[in-house]
């Protein structure tokens, strides 16, 4: 199996959790009550930790590749130059030196936090997907990816519990909380279709038995989401059109602003440490 | 030359930086210790508690410093994430130390995760009342949840079953 496939697949998995974790981290100090502020930053920390394990693995793959194979990996000139100059690449290089079009995260995770209901809805849709994905990824023939999936899955179970309880609490709350939760579910649902639309990287990874056939997870996903939505007394959201693009590097405008903030320090002061 | 048994005893001296009452051996994160006398190298395999645990780098450094100070020539610390860490690996001695320190230790086996709106019944480490309630499943570190005691009115932390 080609190491390029493993690399790209690993990066896509990493990008999803990094961007989701960075979004949730923006709630730090702004949560409605202290306990929920801490909840979101804890979930964020788990996700950024998962991203670190994945980026470390991706960096290892890059560093072990023959020079010819890695001459055109990324569009971002800063990172590609570093690779071409035979520098040892680290997890930080992959997080901080790639531009938006090099990121392969799904559109869902880069959407803005919005209000509490929007944040809950996005996590509710994403965490459920991660649960199914990591459960399947534990069977990957790539032992590193299987191990990261096994470890992450335990953490995702807390995340799902948190998001599902909030959907039920708001749906089953006041007229206003119900209306807001319903609105947020409806608004974010159009980003869920992309989760199950296989891109070329996922196809190649699946054929090499290292990746998951995400299209096969959709039915279980739909059922599990619907069970919670029903329990919350809400209507299952519908979408006439599902948005796609993020997994192929075509993002909404929100990602660029987020990366500008996240990457600022390494861009302005390269190799800065503290 | 340091033996494997010596090493395990020395590692009892390395504290978890976030819960200093526990050693890394109590916590169950030391998975293996090997001594290769031909190349005078000690290999210590550790496993992270949670993916995002910021203490892992510090712990690796402390292991090296501890063993080097005991006369080791070379120490290699490796990270192994599978099988993933569980509180089932925490020693009974460690659980007693936690309780005495004011943190309710994990009691339940970790195999079955909690259902929606379900919470662990936890005894207050201060007044031993069972009349306690969960404030948040998430606490000051990834491994702890926040509780309060309805009897003595004190808030306390619970080391989550994981």
**Residue B11 and residue B74 in one domain:** yes
Tokens of A7: 């690399």
- The CATH number of residue B30's host domain is 3.30.300.130
- Whether B81 sits inside 8 A of A151 (CB atoms) is yes
**Residue B125 and residue B64 in one domain:** no
pLDDT at A88 (0 to 100):
97
Q: State which residues form the domain around B132.
A: 97-159
State the greatest distance between any 2 C-alpha atoms of chain A, in Å, as a whole number: 61
**Residue B110 and residue B51 in one domain:** no
In a domain, B47, yes or no: yes
A39 touches chain B (CB under 8 A): yes
pLDDT surpassing 60 at residue A1: no
Mutation pick from B48, B50, B162 vs chain A, by most beta carbons of A within 10 Å, is B50
**Residue B9 and residue B61 in one domain:** yes
In a domain, B90, yes or no: no
Give the closest of B117, B139, B162 to A154, CB-based. B162
Of B46, B79, B112, which residue sits at a domain end?
Answer: B79
Give the closest of A35, A155, A165 to B50, CB-based. A155
Question: Could you tell me which of A171, A169, A154 has the C-alpha nearest to residue A237?
Answer: A171
> Under DSSP, is residue B77 helix (H, G, I), strand (E, B) or coil?
strand
pLDDT at B109 (0 to 100):
86
Distance CA B105, CA B159 (A): 5
In a domain, B112, yes or no: yes
Chain A residues within 8 A of B114 when measuring between CB atoms: 161
The pLDDT tens digits for A110-156 are 999 999 999 999 999 999 999 999 999 999 999 999 999 999 999 99
Contact indicator for A144, A223 with CB cutoff of 8 Å: no
| Mean pLDDT value across chain A | 96
**Residue B73 and residue B133 in one domain:** no
- Whether A150 sits inside 8 A of B146 (CB atoms) is no
B60 touches chain A (CB under 8 A): no
Contact indicator for A148, A78 with CB cutoff of 8 Å: no
B51 touches chain A (CB under 8 A): yes
pLDDT surpassing 90 at residue A21: yes
Domains and CATH numbers, chain A: 3-236+243-268 (1.20.1260.10)
pLDDT at A2 (0 to 100):
74
A-to-B residue pairs, Cβ atoms closer than 8 angstroms: 72
The pLDDT tens digits for A211-261 are 999 999 999 999 999 999 999 999 999 988 999 999 999 999 999 999 999
In a domain, B85, yes or no: no
Chain B residues within 8 A of A46 when measuring between CB atoms: 50-52, 142
pLDDT at B43 (0 to 100):
97
Distance CA A113, CA A125 (A): 14
**Residue B8 and residue B69 in one domain:** yes
Mutation pick from B51, B57, B145, B161 vs chain A, by most beta carbons of A within 10 Å, is B51
pLDDT level of residue A80 (50, 70, 90 thresholds): very high
- Whether A49 sits inside 8 A of B53 (CB atoms) is yes
**Residue B75 and residue B101 in one domain:** no
The arithmetic mean of pLDDT across residues A175-187, rounded, is 98
Task: Print burial letters for A20-36: b (CB count within 10 Å at least 16), e (below 16).
Answer: bbbbbbbbeeebeeebb
Give the closest of A36, A50, A157 to B51, CB-based. A50
Distance CA A109, CA A130 (A): 12
**Residue B68 and residue B9 in one domain:** yes
The arithmetic mean of pLDDT across residues A83-107, rounded, is 97
Domain count along chain B? 2
pLDDT at B148 (0 to 100):
96
**Residue B101 and residue B57 in one domain:** no
In a domain, B87, yes or no: no
**Residue B72 and residue B114 in one domain:** no
In a domain, B91, yes or no: no
Distance CA A51, CA A105 (A): 12
Give the closest of B81, B116, B162 to A148, CB-based. B81
- Which residue in B has a C-alpha nearest to residue A161's C-alpha? B116
Tokens 């998430």 found at: B138
Give the closest of B52, B113, B139 to A38, CB-based. B139
pLDDT level of residue A78 (50, 70, 90 thresholds): very high
Name residue B76's beta-bridge partners. B43
**Residue B104 and residue B145 in one domain:** yes
Chain B residues within 8 A of A164 when measuring between CB atoms: 116
Of B79, B112, B146, which residue sits at a domain end?
Answer: B79
The arithmetic mean of pLDDT across residues A163-168, rounded, is 98
Question: Which DSSP string do the residues of A54-110 spell out, in sequence order?
Answer: HHHHHHHHHHHS-GGGGTTS-S-HHHHHHHHTTPPP-HHHHHHS--GGG----HHHH
Question: Which DSSP string do the residues of A15-49 spell out, in sequence order?
Answer: HHHHHHHHHHHTTTTT-SSHHHHHHHHHHHHHHHH
Which ranges constitute the DSSP H helices of B42-121? 56-69, 92-101
B142 touches chain A (CB under 8 A): yes
Return the ∠ at Cα B33 (arms to B27 and B35), rounded to 5°. Answer: 155
Contact indicator for B7, B75 with CB cutoff of 8 Å: no
| Cβ within 8 Å of residue A172, ≥6 positions away | A178, A231, A232, A233
B20 touches chain A (CB under 8 A): no
Of B28, B46, B79, which residue sits at a domain end?
Answer: B79
- Closest-CA distance of chain B to residue A21, Å: 11
pLDDT in tens, chain B (162 residues): 789 999 999 999 999 998 999 999 999 999 999 999 888 899 999 999 999 988 888 999 999 999 999 999 999 999 999 999 999 999 999 999 999 999 999 998 887 888 999 999 999 999 999 999 999 999 989 999 999 999 999 999 999 999
In a domain, B101, yes or no: yes
Q: Write the secondary structure of A143-162 as one string of H (helix), E (strand) and C (coil).
A: HHHHHHHHHHHHHHHHHHHH
Length reported for chain A: 274
In a domain, B8, yes or no: yes
Tokens of A89: 């690449």
Chain A residues within 8 A of B53 when measuring between CB atoms: 49
* ipTM score for this prediction: 0.92
pLDDT at B39 (0 to 100):
86
Mutation pick from A14, A27, A49 vs chain B, by most beta carbons of B within 10 Å, is A49
pLDDT at A22 (0 to 100):
98
pLDDT at A274 (0 to 100):
73
């Amino acid at each position: 199996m080609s190491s390029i496939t493993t690399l790209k697949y690993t990066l896509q998995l990493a990008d999803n959790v990094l961007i989701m974790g960075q979004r949730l981290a923006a709630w730090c100090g702004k949560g409605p009550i202290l306990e929920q502020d801490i909840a979101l930053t804890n979930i964020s920390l788990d996700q950024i930790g998962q991203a670190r394990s994945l980026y470390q693995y991706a960096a290892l793959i890059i560093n072990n590749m023959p020079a010819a194979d890695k001459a055109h990996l990324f569009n971002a000139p800063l990172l590609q130059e570093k690779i071409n100059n035979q520098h040892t690449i680290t997890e930080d290089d992959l997080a901080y030196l790639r531009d938006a079009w090099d990121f392969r995260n799904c559109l869902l995770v880069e959407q803005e936090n919005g209000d509490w209901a929007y944040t809950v809805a996005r996590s509710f849709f994403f965490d459920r997907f991660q649960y199914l994905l990591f459960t399947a990824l534990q069977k990957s023939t790539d032992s590193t990816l299987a191990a990261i999936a096994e470890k992450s899955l335990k953490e995702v179970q807390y995340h799902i519990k948190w998001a599902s309880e909030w959907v039920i609490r708001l749906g089953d709350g006041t007229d206003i909380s119900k209306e807001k939760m319903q609105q947020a579910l409806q608004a974010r649902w159009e980003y869920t279709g992309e989760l199950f639309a296989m891109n070329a990287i996922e196809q190649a990874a699946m054929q090499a038995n290292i990746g998951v056939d995400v299209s096969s997870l959709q039915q279980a996903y739909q059922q599990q989401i619907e069970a919670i939505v029903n329990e919350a007394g809400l209507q299952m959201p519908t979408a006439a059109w599902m948005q796609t693009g993020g997994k192929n590097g075509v993002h909404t405008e929100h990602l660029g602003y987020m990366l500008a903030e996240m990457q600022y320090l390494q861009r302005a002061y390269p190799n800065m440490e503290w | 030359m340091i033996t494997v048994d010596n090493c395990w005893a020395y590692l009892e001296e390395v504290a978890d930086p976030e819960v200093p009452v526990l050693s890394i051996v109590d916590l169950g994160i030391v998975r293996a210790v090997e001594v290769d006398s031909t190349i005078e190298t000690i290999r210590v395999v550790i496993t992270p508690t949670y993916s995002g645990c910021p203490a892992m780098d510090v712990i690796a450094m402390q292991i090296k410093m501890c063993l080097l100070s005991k006369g080791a020539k070379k120490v290699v610390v490796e990270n192994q994430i599978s099988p993933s860490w569980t509180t089932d690996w925490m020693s009974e001695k460690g659980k007693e130390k936690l309780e005495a320190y004011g943190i309710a230790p994990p009691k339940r086996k970790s195999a079955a995760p909690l259902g929606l709106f379900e919470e662990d019944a936890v005894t207050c480490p201060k007044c031993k009342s069972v009349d306690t309630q969960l404030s948040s499943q998430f606490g000051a570190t990834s491994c702890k949840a926040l509780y309060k005691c309805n009897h003595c009115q004190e808030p306390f932390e619970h080391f989550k079953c994981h």
